Amino acid sequence: MAREIKDHELASPVDLPGEPVERGDPLAWTAVTIIVAALVLLFANAGTLSAWVDEKPVTQAQQQASGLASGWKDMMAATGLTAPRKALHARWKKLQAARFGDEAPGGTQ
């Protein structure tokens, strides 16, 4: 329950409103948010999914999953959905390779 603000006080950004907001279903909102996030990652981050599957121990199921993930990655790349991740990853690798002063590659001197 929120406390009442006196005349001489300023409202705090963390004060809750006097009445709780009770419209909508919080469980439905959470479920929709998780589903949307999962779909965005599935479509835009297909390269990471493929790399994750390829890291698993080799079994018959892993081989099938690797083929599916590779096909999915190629399909998403063909549509251009993986371009933002690819550009961000390339930039990260450039920053990772940056050296300061006489620092040797790999971070050792």
Q: Using 50, 70 and 90 to split pLDDT, how confident is the model at 99?
A: confident
The two three-digit tokens of residue 53, written as one number: 């599957």
pLDDT confidence of residue 37: 96
Q: Indicate the burial class of 70 (C-beta count within 10 angstroms; 0-12, 13-18, 19 or more).
A: middle
pLDDT greater than 90 at residue 39 = yes
Task: Work out the average pLDDT over 79-85.
Answer: 91
**Beta carbons of 82 and 46 less than 8 angstroms apart:** yes
pLDDT confidence of residue 23: 78
d(CA 80, CA 87): 12
pLDDT confidence of residue 9: 72
pLDDT confidence of residue 1: 52
How many whole angstroms from its chain centre is CA 98?
25
pLDDT confidence of residue 85: 87
